[in-house]
Amino acid sequence: MGKATQDLRKEHDAILYILRILDKMLEPGNREPDTMLRYYGELVDFLTIFADKCHHGKEENYLFTRLVEKGIPNEGGPVGVMLMEHAEGRGYIAQMSASLNSRDIGGFGAAAVQYRDLLRRHIAKENDVLFRMADQVIGEEEQAELFEKFEEHEEKVIGHGVHEELHARMDQWAKEFGVEES
């Protein structure tokens, strides 16, 4: 497994962990609506920054463009499908945010379930198909170069301090909602 795909797989694990926390947050509980709106708002911020800007940014700006250069088809091929799913995910995130702005917990839940299901399917496809293809066509040295670009991208969109903060927040939610890290 190359260094670049390995980094993205590690981020998939973090995203899947967040989705398990989201499952718990969506279960009917006895928390006040205000409390849940606050948790959901923080979760949307996390998904926007970590899953979309950072992770999908690494894929779209570096890995996918490299795959297309290597002859893996974009439109009508696996890269195009992944890009469409990223766009679909952004649509759900926008719906989740809009629901929170109008304090519509039901609307938030409906969009969150679609987002969650999409991302789980998407991650499985990348792990099982696209990243395997990537490991076949992108050699170790080139993967190490891509990894350097990922690090720069991460520093630009998140920054080291915020990254730590996000992970600390994630562990706090997990504790509050009783989710074990796998």
- Residues in contact with Fe ion by CB under 5 A are 59, 126
Smaller CB separation from Fe ion, 121 or 156: 121
Smaller CB separation from Fe ion, 37 or 134: 134
DSSP 32: -
Q: Could you tell me which of 16, 36, 34 has the C-alpha nearest to residue 26?
A: 36
As a whole number of angstroms, the distance between CA 174 and CA 37 comes to: 17
Report the nearest approach of Fe ion to the CB of residue 72 (Å): 14
Residue 110 token pair: 């409906």
Smaller CB separation from Fe ion, 126 or 154: 126
Query: CB under 8 Å to 30, separation ≥6 — which residues?
Result: none
Smaller CB separation from Fe ion, 88 or 104: 88
Report the nearest approach of Fe ion to the CB of residue 13 (Å): 11
Report the nearest approach of Fe ion to the CB of residue 126 (Å): 5
Whether the CB-CB separation of 1 and 134 falls below 8 Å is answered with: no
Report the nearest approach of Fe ion to the CB of residue 104 (Å): 28
Helical spans, DSSP H, in the chain = 3-26, 33-46, 57-58, 64-69, 78-101, 105-125, 131-137, 140-157, 160-176
Smaller CB separation from Fe ion, 31 or 90: 90
